[in-house]
């Protein structure tokens, strides 16, 4: 492993890309500590910590910047929302479908539309966030200084929107000139930035005696097992054999190869958990806006209390539903069957065309269920540990899946650079497979 890290810095291009990526991530972390004018970040942090709402999810993707109300408070979430919206619209809007089939030029157009939509979403979210910050009054202390006046709303909208645009630019620069996916790495660094604080808190609990040593050992062992299981399920595939017939053109022979069609157990990635968390946090957020509504307060405190049995069941079912829903959007068995038929490929024992599409869809439906149930359990696990065992689980299901996926993807890209220049990668035997999405 030490020799591998030495080899990384022997390759000039790889060394330059890694140092550039680290520099951009440092810039992002510095911006996450620049406060928004007229806002008391400590008051907002205490308010969000004491309440369970969707703002905790936003703070996860913002790397803690939302709870501090810094210039990067919105984080990269507007860009992710814009990307998801265009991806979903691409399944039903013919114009976007044509762009997706136009190759590099079409992708460039979709990226441009994603940027425009990101600006619009950022401005809208910044407007709502500015009003939310102005309404916070925690223990008699207002979050926004009264001296700011009427300029607070437009100034905050401009600050937050420009902050999101700058983060989006940083991510694109990392993707183009650095190593790994820039947007994913920005989310990744924001999540793991909480790790030192979580470690210090656990040490303090052991020091004062509020946490038993044997319980800490069990917790660390369980976290290692959970991470290993997530890695296994993230990379799990069902390979369908595909046969291509041999063709003779003149004196040359083409085809005749046997390959496979890899179907990922987790084709939807982390999207189902993101959607499910947004839906589960929505009632508590609405209840905060309408505190006089008694039935809404009972719904949030009894049926949708994080860590409760009803909350865990509903949360898990929503994740399973969105796993199937999003897999159906991103994976089209009919299109894959048509491409195989055009190239002369077929699945042994299955007739080309409609029967092949039905077979692929049947296999995909079967393997999606265990993957969706597993990730639903991983998403529910942090809430159970926090509420029942008082365990400080510093990243939840969404964060865990993002950390694992981004780390493996980045390592795979680094290993590709090393192997291309005849250096040993991180693994002497085998290789790190890239993400399926």
pLDDT of amino acid 170: 93
pLDDT of amino acid 163: 92
* Domain-wise residue ranges, the chain: 1-193
Q: Give the DSSP letter of residue 35.
A: B
pLDDT of amino acid 165: 94
Q: Which residue has the tokens 């809430």?
A: 383
The Cα–Cα gap between 336 and 357 comes to 7
pLDDT of amino acid 333: 87
The DSSP result for 45-97, as a single string, is HHHHHHS-SHHHHHHHHTTTHHHHTBTTTTTTHHHHHHHHHHHHHTTT-HHHH
Half-sphere exposure of 8 (CA within 13 A, CB side): 18
pLDDT of amino acid 393: 53
pLDDT of amino acid 434: 47
pLDDT of amino acid 437: 39
Read off the tokens for 250. Answer: 């003149």
pLDDT of amino acid 389: 54
Cα first-last separation, the chain: 28
Read off the tokens for 54. Answer: 């969707």
Q: Give the DSSP letter of residue 150.
A: G
Q: What's the CATH number for 1-193?
A: 1.10.3370.10
pLDDT tens for the 437 residues of the chain, in order:
566 667 777 777 888 888 999 999 999 999 888 888 888 878 887 777 766 555 666 677 777 788 888 899 888 888 888 887 887 787 778 888 888 777 778 888 888 999 999 999 889 888 888 887 887 877 777 888 877 777 888 898 999 999 999 999 999 999 888 888 888 888 888 888 877 777 787 788 888 877 778 877 877 787 788 888 888 888 888 888 888 777 666 666 665 667 888 888 888 777 787 777 767 766 766 665 565 666 666 766 667 666 667 777 888 888 888 888 888 877 888 888 888 888 778 888 888 888 888 988 999 989 999 888 888 888 777 666 655 555 555 555 667 777 887 888 788 788 777 777 655 555 555 555 544 43
- What is the 3-class SS of 268-335, one letter each residue? CCCHHHHHHHHHHHHHHHHHHHCCCCHHHHHHHHHHCCCCCHHHHHHHHHHHHHHHHHHHHHHCCHHH
pLDDT of amino acid 421: 64
């Amino acid at each position: 492993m030490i020799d591998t890290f030495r080899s990384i810095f022997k390759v000039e291009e790889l060394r330059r890309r890694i140092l550039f990526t680290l520099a951009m991530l440092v810039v992002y972390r510095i911006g996450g500590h620049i406060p928004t004018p007229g806002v008391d970040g400590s008051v907002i942090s205490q308010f969000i910590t004491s309440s369970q709402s969707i703002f905790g999810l936003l703070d996860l993707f913002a790397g803690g910047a939302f709870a501090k109300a810094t210039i990067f408070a919105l984080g990269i979430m507007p860009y992710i929302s814009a990307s998801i919206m265009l991806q979903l619209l691409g399944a039903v809007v013919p114009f976007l479908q044509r762009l997706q089939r136009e190759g590099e030029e079409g992708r460039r157009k979709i990226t441009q539309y994603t940027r425009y939509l990101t600006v619009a979403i950022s401005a809208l979210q910044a407007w709502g966030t500015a009003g939310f910050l102005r309404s916070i009054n925690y223990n008699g202390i207002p979050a926004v200084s009264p001296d700011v006046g009427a300029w607070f709303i437009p100034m905050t909208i401009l600050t937050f929107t420009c902050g999101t645009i700058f983060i989006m630019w940083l991510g694109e620069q990392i993707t183009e000139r650095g190593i790994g996916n820039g947007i994913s790495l920005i989310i990744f660094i924001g999540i793991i930035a909480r790790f030192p604080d979580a470690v210090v808190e656990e040490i303090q609990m052991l020091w004062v005696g509020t946490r038993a040593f044997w319980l800490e050992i069990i917790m660390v062992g369980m976290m290692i097992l959970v991470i290993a299981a997530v890695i296994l399920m993230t990379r799990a595939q069902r390979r369908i054999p595909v046969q291509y017939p041999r063709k003779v053109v003149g004196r040359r022979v083409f085809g005749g190869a046997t390959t496979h069609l890899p179907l990922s157990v987790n084709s939807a990635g982390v999207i189902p958990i993101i959607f499910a968390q947004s839906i589960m946090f929505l009632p508590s957020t609405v209840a905060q806006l309408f505190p006089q509504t008694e039935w809404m307060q009972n719904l949030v405190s009894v049926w949708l209390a994080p860590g409760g049995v009803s909350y865990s069941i509903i949360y898990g079912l929503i994740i399973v539903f969105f796993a199937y829903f999003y897999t159906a959007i991103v994976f089209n068995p009919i299109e894959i069957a048509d491409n195989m038929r055009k190239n002369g490929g077929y699945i042994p024992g299955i007739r080309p065309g409609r029967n092949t599409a039905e077979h692929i869809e049947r296999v995909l439906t079967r393997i999606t269920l265990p993957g969706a149930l597993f990730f639903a359990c991983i998403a529910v696990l942090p809430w159970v540990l926090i509420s029942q065992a008082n365990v400080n689980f510093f990243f939840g299901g969404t964060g865990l899946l993002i950390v694992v996926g981004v780390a493996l993807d980045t390592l795979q890209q680094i290993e590709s650079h090393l192997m291309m220049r005849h250096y040993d990668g991180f693994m002497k035997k085998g290789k790190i497979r890239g993400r399926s999405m």
